[in-house]
Amino acid sequence: MALPGLHDPPGRLTLMKLFKFNGGVKPETHKDASTRLPIATLPLPERLTVPLHQSIGGTPRPLVRAGQRVLKGQRIGAADGNVSAAIHAPTSGTIVALEPALMPHASGLAALSAVIVPDGEDAWAPVTPVDVRALSGGELRDYLRDAGVVGMGGAVFPSHLKLNPGRQGKVQTLIVNGAECEPYITCDDMLMRERPETVVRGTLLMAQILGAERVLVGIEDNKPEAVAAMEAACRGSRIQVVPVPTRYPAGGAKQLIRVLTGIEVPHGKRSTDFGVQCFNVGTACAVHEALDYGRPLISRIVTVAGNVSTPRNFEVLFGTPMSEVVRTALPRPDTNRYLMGGPMMGFPMPGFNVPVVKATNCILVASDALFPPPPPEMPCIRCGECAKACPADLAPFELYWFARAHNFGKAQEYHLFDCIECGCCTYVCPSHIPLVDYYRYAKSEIWARERDKEAADQARTRFEFRNDRQEREKREKAEKLAAKAAETKARLAETSPDAPAATAQDDPKKALIAAALERARQQKAAVEPRNTDDLPPTVQTEIAEIDARRQASGPAEPSA
């Protein structure tokens, strides 16, 4: 299938062959309502709760304390290790607490968060743009790590890691993902409509870091305004804008790579092994802001849709309570829960006041009327519809049986971790089985067991190291004792050649005892009597008799 509309070179109409991916579904998109109004900026909330852990990888180390004043863009959490990204203050104010807070996650767990009370000044910390021509690729990646730039498509993988071209030294094809296939979500669509220049500039910066020879922007063909805006912004550049057929989940990285290049990334491989790398359009905008203006990632565009009177997209600071964002869109009275994400891959929030984080691309306001409870789960009838719809070419019904039977090893053999949790299998299942929930459960159990095994391995390693250390210390102590005994024997032989050799023999302990006795004898011999002057004649005579008897009896034999 060939589509027009590409600019390579500028002004010349070219054709490009597109490919298909297996499976997929076509749910109702529900995107028109939230694209009628431009992106709005929310006023500062009374309080921001900023979780320190907002990306895949290690939890950033806190750099602030309670009572400290911070400026907008100031780093409050340092990246912990390579797979991590820094966290910054969304506005100026005071850190009133550094404490666990409820996270926007289905688990309902808390995470260490910085609670900031804004001062209303919104004063920026000093920012320094980067001269991208003067820095190496490694230095630019380190800067993006410290700027907190992560994937904005929902995976929140640290972008500095994906911008590493690897052993090949460069990437042949850079793909920028503007497909946005999930129903209700329009934040990327509105970003491309209103700020296409920022996306293009960030794309060119990423292409420079990766050394990409070819740059493609994939946008679903149900977004004509975004396609037109991006084509106009790319005119004169080497970026090609490619409309792709609307089919969920065309926005998946592997699926979009397949559609645009024909490359199918197999199990256990990465797209960079085939010279391809994929980023979200929001990530490109964040890279531009970080490198060209020195501004860290402190906000994002969030779609508010569903059971609200005014669906819209908002520029939201991280840490803003979701209830504050939804209140601006006028929720209806029967609202009873929020979903973060769309209806296919989103999950319910544990509360209304959980904060907006880097992964929050959409707040879907739900009610029982809009999203009725699912019908009761019925037995699997092995119809195979889930396998036909699976875009990852898996066998979802087999994974379901293994996950349900807790046979996690077999589930891994069937490539459980290749599942992208898109929800296509659940969408088409006639038995209404929540298949993705089973897969998520199986993954979490496997991760938990791996953590337990790693902890047990570390404990065993520490135990073995402790035993080795104790044996080494015991051996070293014995060696020191033997060396000291030998040294004592040699010194004893030099100082007392007349001493009987049988007292020490070859036993180090006897040698030490003999040496101690010899030292005592020498010390006693060296002691001169005190108070012996001017003694009466009778006393002097008595002392002389004692000395005579002692000399006549000879030296005392040492006891063993």
Does residue 524 register a pLDDT over 80? no
Q: Which of 10-14, 199-203, 289-293, 457-461 has the lowest mean pLDDT?
A: 10-14
In this structure, what CATH number is given to the domain that contains residue 233? 3.40.50.11540
Closest CA to 74 of 2, 23, 122, 136: 122
Percent of all residues in the chain with a pLDDT value above 90, rounded to a whole number: 74
Q: Say which DSSP state 8 is in.
A: S
Closest CA to 341 of 221, 421, 241, 242: 421
The three-class DSSP label of residue 348 is strand
DSSP track, 153-185: TTT--BHHHHT--GGGSS-SEEEEE----STT-
Based on the domain organization, do 140 and 275 belong to the same domain?
A: yes
Residue 545 phi, psi (nearest 5): -65, -40
Domain contains 86: no
Based on the domain organization, do 291 and 416 belong to the same domain?
A: no
Domain contains 376: no
Based on the domain organization, do 273 and 386 belong to the same domain?
A: no
Based on the domain organization, do 138 and 284 belong to the same domain?
A: yes
Based on the domain organization, do 9 and 143 belong to the same domain?
A: yes
DSSP track, 404-472: HTT-HHHHHHTTGGG-----HHHHH-TT---HHHHHHHHHHHHHHHHHHHHHHHHHHHHHHHHHHHHHH
The three-class DSSP label of residue 210 is helix
Based on the domain organization, do 287 and 386 belong to the same domain?
A: no
- Pairing status of strand 214-220 against strand 239-244: parallel
**Six-digit token pair at 450?**
């791996």
Q: Which residues of 495-520 are buried (b: 16+ CB within 10 A; e: fewer)?
A: eeeebeeebbeeebebbbbbbeebee
Instruction: Decide which of 383 and 481 is more confident.
Output: 383
Percent of all residues in the chain with a pLDDT value above 70, rounded to a whole number: 92
Yes or no: say if 180 and 152 are a contact pair by the CB < 8 Å rule. no
| pLDDT for 12 | 35
Amino acid at residue number 401: W
Write out pLDDT tens, residues 332-389.
999 999 999 999 999 999 999 999 999 999 999 999 999 999 899 999 999 999 999 9
Where a domain ends, among 245, 270, 295?
295
Based on the domain organization, do 285 and 176 belong to the same domain?
A: yes
Q: Which residues pair with 338 in a beta bridge?
A: 365
Domain contains 536: no
The whole-angstrom separation of Cα 331 and Cα 336 is 10
Q: What share of the chain is helix, strand, coil (3-state, %, to 5)?
A: 40, 20, 45
| pLDDT for 5 | 36
Where a domain ends, among 474, 501, 528?
501
Domain contains 74: no
Domain contains 413: yes
Question: Domain tally for the chain?
Answer: 2
Where a domain ends, among 295, 323, 346?
295
Domain contains 108: no
Which helix (H) or strand (E) segment holds residue 253: the answer is helix 253-261
Strand order in the sheet with 93-102: 48-51, 110-118, 93-102, 69-70
Domain contains 347: no
Cβ atoms within 10 Å of 539's Cβ, excluding its own: 10
Based on the domain organization, do 246 and 142 belong to the same domain?
A: yes
Using pLDDT thresholds of 50, 70 and 90, give the confidence band for residue 518.
Answer: confident
Write out pLDDT tens, residues 165-191.
877 778 999 999 999 999 999 999 999
Based on the domain organization, do 270 and 392 belong to the same domain?
A: no
> What rounded mean pLDDT belongs to the chain?
89
Does residue 10 register a pLDDT over 70? no
Report the residue count for the chain: 560
| pLDDT for 106 | 85
Based on the domain organization, do 274 and 396 belong to the same domain?
A: no
Write out pLDDT tens, residues 271-310.
988 999 999 999 999 999 999 999 999 999 999 999 999 9
Which helix (H) or strand (E) segment holds residue 306: the answer is strand 299-306
Which helix (H) or strand (E) segment holds residue 473: the answer is helix 435-495
Strands, E assignment, 190-261: 214-220, 239-244
Yes or no: say if 424 and 23 are a contact pair by the CB < 8 Å rule. yes
Q: Which domain holds residue 256?
A: 1-22+127-295
The whole-angstrom separation of Cα 203 and Cα 527 is 94
Q: Which residues pair with 114 in a beta bridge?
A: 50, 98
The whole-angstrom separation of Cα 338 and Cα 350 is 9
State mean pLDDT over 529-535. Answer: 67
Closest CA to 23 of 398, 412, 395: 395
The whole-angstrom separation of Cα 204 and Cα 481 is 71
Based on the domain organization, do 261 and 159 belong to the same domain?
A: yes
Closest CA to 303 of 533, 34, 509, 92: 34
Distance of CA 372 to the CA centre of its chain: 35
Task: State if pTM tops 0.85.
Answer: no
Return the residue matching tokens 């902890």.
455
Based on the domain organization, do 155 and 279 belong to the same domain?
A: yes
The whole-angstrom separation of Cα 417 and Cα 438 is 13
Residue 63 phi, psi (nearest 5): -115, 5
The whole-angstrom separation of Cα 239 and Cα 207 is 10
Domain contains 52: no
